[in-house]
Amino acid sequence: MATTSQSSRTAREQADLIVRNGRIATQDERRSFASAVAIKDGRFLAVGTDTEVLAHQGGRTQVIDVGGRTVIPGLNDSHLHIIRGGLSYNLELRWDGVPSLADALRMLREQAQRTPPNQWVRVVGGWTEFQFAERRMPTLDEINAVAPDTPVFVLHLYDRALLNQAALRACGYTKDTPDPPGGEIQRDKVGNPTGLLIATPNAMILYSTLAKGPKLPPEHQRNSTRHFMRELNRLGVTSVIDAGGGFQNFPEDYQVIEDLHRQGEMTVRIAYNLFTQKPKQELQDFQRWTQQTTPGVGDAFYRMNGAGEMLVFSAADFEDFLQPRPEMPPIMETELEAVICHLVAQRWPFRLHATYDETIARALTIYEQVNRDIPFNGLHWFFDHCETISDRNIERIKALGGGIAIQHRMAFQGEYFVDRYGQQQAERTPPIRRMLEVGIPVGAGTDATRVASYNPFVALYWLVTGKTVGGVALYPEANRLGRMEALRLYTVGSSWFSGEVDRKGAIVPGQLADLAVLSADYFSVPEEEIRRLESVLTLVDGQVVYGAGVFAHFAPPPLPVMPEWSPVAAYGGYARSTEPATSGGHVHAHASSNLSPVYASVRAKTKQWRRTVSGLWEFGCDCFAC
Ligand SMILES: [Zn+2]
Ligand SMILES: [Zn+2]
């Protein structure tokens, strides 16, 4: 075991806290392991062997023996909609990680029963039918049966929402409601809405319907945001780069997080990007914001990080692999150029959502033009997602000093992608290995909460195994990462994206004291176990923000959930698995680049889906699931 021995330089300084007897993956330049770390004033003071580090023990030093457990730097999700997600977290029933549709429907029935009149039950993404033992979605009949009176809204990825009859009534959707552009309200034979809303491929219909539901009052929104942060702490997340989001207005919808920041109640560090809300008036949004605030404003807990992920609506390519790739309109270039010129002139870092290579190529042409007039000159800018990016465009990003923030969206919709584009194209979707070889900054994350789950261990599982949550193998060895490398993207890698390289991401003296002690050894558990890992002790800024089991007594006091009927009070967040490590093995055993019987049936189901979606109602049923 290699160790760092940097303690001598700071010997005699007394630590506030020492974590010892660990297997600490420091993520220093040599990827060293150490056994102990000392913390003082929210920063790492010394890292090394127990003997070296215990030299910093004084009368007031708290010492925690972690019993040989694996310790990692706090995880940093470089793309999560945490500020928006926090405002409604307590309202959402999560199917994230739930192993069967039967369980999911049971939870829905129970939650509908405890939900008061005029409130809704919402399942807002984070799941796929391929995670369920039944390997299918619920039907509208099933949703109506378990919730006859309470409005229910179930969002599936980026492509559809299932509403029960009570939700249709609450939204006022009738025979006479027109379809919005890019969206479809599915009808039965006599024209009444069935309850299925489809993005074709614009998800606005889904999100604007979701926005019709009741919101939490501000006091509950504060409580809800704190619970979301605690849930992330449970999973070892200590930093997030927030990507804004539709209906997330600045500065109005940032009041709750700003209150929590002022009151010292943040347990996840957030760098936030500003997302335009106004199609065709994006430039005005950014002109206003560049006068109101400045990148870097704030502190190590809450700081402004520039613009995006929406810069102009005409450049937003929707990641719905059940639909053909959308072609961006010709106006994209003009609109994007105006915004990029403004941002670069103001030295604002920016990020841009881009799923497909075709969109990326067009954006890069604009960036290159702007760079000739107003040099980027080291400005941090990056693309988000980049599932189908070509080698050529990776090189162009490198030449302009940009980065790529990748997420495990393919773990949730890889089956659909393979069905449309084939196994071979999926093998490099996204081409993470290539990005690393070219040497551009790559950060890891989830894009939670509305498509993928926020659970970082599911994302690490995907990076390491190359598999979807449904067990389909997407990537050959050459496009998978080693465990150390995957962890690095989630720590040091993500720190570049908020301009905080060398400030966080590694357990080395001087960096922010954020770490997680894991429930099992990330480096040696069977691959299938990676997604079931969680933290048992999480520190942010040198303070314990989460503790479980033998570490529970270090944890902060419990926080009641508001409102009390919240599904979070009953179920928490990501489902805690009780399955053995080998569960799902039937899929695992067959998953390969050749189609397995299980996978073939997934394909068949997907095809049937598409027939249903394209409106062949003579097909004879309103079952959208099988
Ligand atoms: Zn996006
Ligand atoms: Zn996003």
Handedness of CA 411, 412, 415, 421 (dihedral sign): negative
Q: Which residues contact 410 (CB under 8 A, 6 or more apart)?
A: 387, 417, 426, 429, 430, 462, 468, 474
Cα distances (Å, whole numbers) of residue 42 to 17, 145, 395, 475, 513? 10, 52, 39, 40, 5
Q: How far is CA 203 from the centre of its chain?
A: 18
- Strand arrangement, sheet containing 160-163: 121-124, 152-156, 160-163, 193-199, 183-187
- Residues 325 and 201: their CA atoms lie apart, in Å, by 9
- Residues 197 and 561: their CA atoms lie apart, in Å, by 31
H helix intervals, 346-498: 357-373, 391-399, 410-421, 423-426, 432-438, 456-465, 483-488, 494-495
Note residues around ion ligand 2 (Cβ under 5 angstroms): 243, 447
Report how far ligand 1's centroid is from the alpha carbon of 512 (Å). Answer: 28
- Nearest ligand to the C-alpha atom of residue 241: 2
CA dihedral defined by 47, 53, 59, 62, rounded to 10 degrees? 50
- Output the pTM of the full model: 0.91
Report how far ligand 1's centroid is from the alpha carbon of 333 (Å). Answer: 19
- Nearest ligand to the C-alpha atom of residue 81: 2
- Nearest ligand to the C-alpha atom of residue 310: 1
- Residues 414 and 158: their CA atoms lie apart, in Å, by 13
Report how far ligand 2's centroid is from the alpha carbon of 318 (Å). Answer: 11
Closest CA to 445 of 417, 413, 411, 469: 411
In this structure, are residues 540 and 224 in contact, taking their beta carbons and an 8 Å threshold?
no
Q: Report the pLDDT value the prediction gives residue 81, as an integer from 0 to 100.
A: 98
Percent composition of the chain: helix, strand, coil (DSSP 3-state, to 5): 35, 20, 45
Report how far ligand 1's centroid is from the alpha carbon of 212 (Å). Answer: 22
Cα distances (Å, whole numbers) of residue 535 to 75, 373, 517, 532, 545? 11, 48, 6, 10, 11
Length of the chain: 626
Report how far ligand 1's centroid is from the alpha carbon of 553 (Å). Answer: 39
In this structure, are residues 152 and 121 in contact, taking their beta carbons and an 8 Å threshold?
yes
Report how far ligand 1's centroid is from the alpha carbon of 125 (Å). Answer: 14
Report how far ligand 2's centroid is from the alpha carbon of 447 (Å). Answer: 5
- Residues 560 and 563: their CA atoms lie apart, in Å, by 9
Report how far ligand 2's centroid is from the alpha carbon of 351 (Å). Answer: 10
Report how far ligand 2's centroid is from the alpha carbon of 250 (Å). Answer: 16
Q: Report the pLDDT value the prediction gives residue 576, as an integer from 0 to 100.
A: 81
- Residues 389 and 357: their CA atoms lie apart, in Å, by 4
The 10s digit of each residue's pLDDT in 175-206 is 999 999 889 999 999 999 999 999 988 888 99
- Nearest ligand to the C-alpha atom of residue 449: 2
Report how far ligand 2's centroid is from the alpha carbon of 384 (Å). Answer: 8
Q: Report the pLDDT value the prediction gives residue 11, as an integer from 0 to 100.
A: 52
Residues of the chain with pLDDT under 50: 1-5, 7-8, 10, 579-626
Report how far ligand 1's centroid is from the alpha carbon of 112 (Å). Answer: 31
Report how far ligand 2's centroid is from the alpha carbon of 244 (Å). Answer: 8
Cα distances (Å, whole numbers) of residue 407 to 85, 102, 215, 448, 460? 17, 29, 28, 9, 10
| H or E segment to which residue 108 belongs | helix 101-114
Report how far ligand 1's centroid is from the alpha carbon of 293 (Å). Answer: 23
- Nearest ligand to the C-alpha atom of residue 383: 1
Tell me which fold the domain 4-68 belongs to: Urease, subunit C; domain 1 (2.30.40)
- Nearest ligand to the C-alpha atom of residue 447: 2
Output phi, psi for 198, to 5 deg. -125, 130
Q: Report the pLDDT value the prediction gives residue 625, as an integer from 0 to 100.
A: 27
- Residues 520 and 70: their CA atoms lie apart, in Å, by 7
